[in-house]
Amino acid sequence: MAEAVARLILARHGQSAANADDVFTGWSNPPLTPFGREEARGMAHKLLDAHLRPDRVFCSPLDRCTETVSILAQELAIGNVPVVKDARLNERDYGLLTGQRKGEIAQIYGVDQVRRWRRSYAEAPPLGESLRDTAARMLRAYVETVLPAAMAGGTTLIVSSGNALRSLVMTLDGLDESEIEGFDISTGAMILYELGSTTAVLGRSILQNRMDPE
């Protein structure tokens, strides 16, 4: 049986002000809420419980991600670990929906249309990105930058947003278009992948945030 040579953790940032207000966030740049900062501290405790300290970090340069990374670095005492900010790891661009309340948009365009914009693989909101568009840049960042660093060994952490991470999970888990529609990752949640010497995924486990319900 192949042996894992590297660990990769995908982590969604803590709750942002836009998450709390139930608006389309996209490339807007809200800060974490107090609850989101507590979620980030909960993530750090879970990593400590699992004896996982990142050797390197890649993150979106949006504030909700960099603030999450800062809290993790403080709680895990890894201030000397390199952090690479890459805009290709940003959340999907919601275009004209950015900053709009999801409920109000559903009243204008209909619940079914909004669900397709949010969950489908190929359909993009007006002037925004589809999940397929997001996957294209996420995978470039993963193949060109993240994966070569991860294969040096140890633990690599990616901190990004929900849809951006969905697009990467689709590839790592081998999900098809219908399966990714039903997949979600909550704020403060983490997924651990074990990678073999060929970069293949050998194992996968959910790292529950301490603040998540049992």
Domains and CATH numbers, the chain: 6-22+31-92+130-207 (3.40.50.1240)
Amino acid 11: pLDDT: 98
CA dihedral over 188, 201, 152, 89, signed as positive or negative: negative
Residues known to be catalytic: 13, 91
Q: Which residue has the tokens 């948009």?
A: 105
Amino acid 213: pLDDT: 40
Amino acid 1: pLDDT: 67
pLDDT digits (tens, 9 = 90+) for 70-88: 999 999 999 999 999 999 9
pLDDT digits (tens, 9 = 90+) for 151-189: 999 999 999 999 999 999 999 999 999 999 999 999 999
**Degrees, nearest 5: CA angle 196-171-36:** 95
Per the structure block, which two tokens stand in for 44?
A: 């750090």
Amino acid 129: pLDDT: 98
Closest to 9 measured CA to CA, from 195, 200, 178, 162: 195
Report, as ranges of residue numbers, the positions in the chain whose pLDDT lies below 50. 211-214
Virtual torsion, Cα 31, 73, 192, 185, nearest 10 deg: -10
Global pTM exceeds 0.85: yes
Amino acid 214: pLDDT: 34
Virtual torsion, Cα 188, 189, 194, 195, nearest 10 deg: -70
Measured in degrees and rounded to the nearest 5, phi and psi for residue 96 equal -70, -15
How distant, in Å, are the alpha carbons of 3, 39, 113, 163, 210 from that of 186? 30, 11, 22, 10, 13
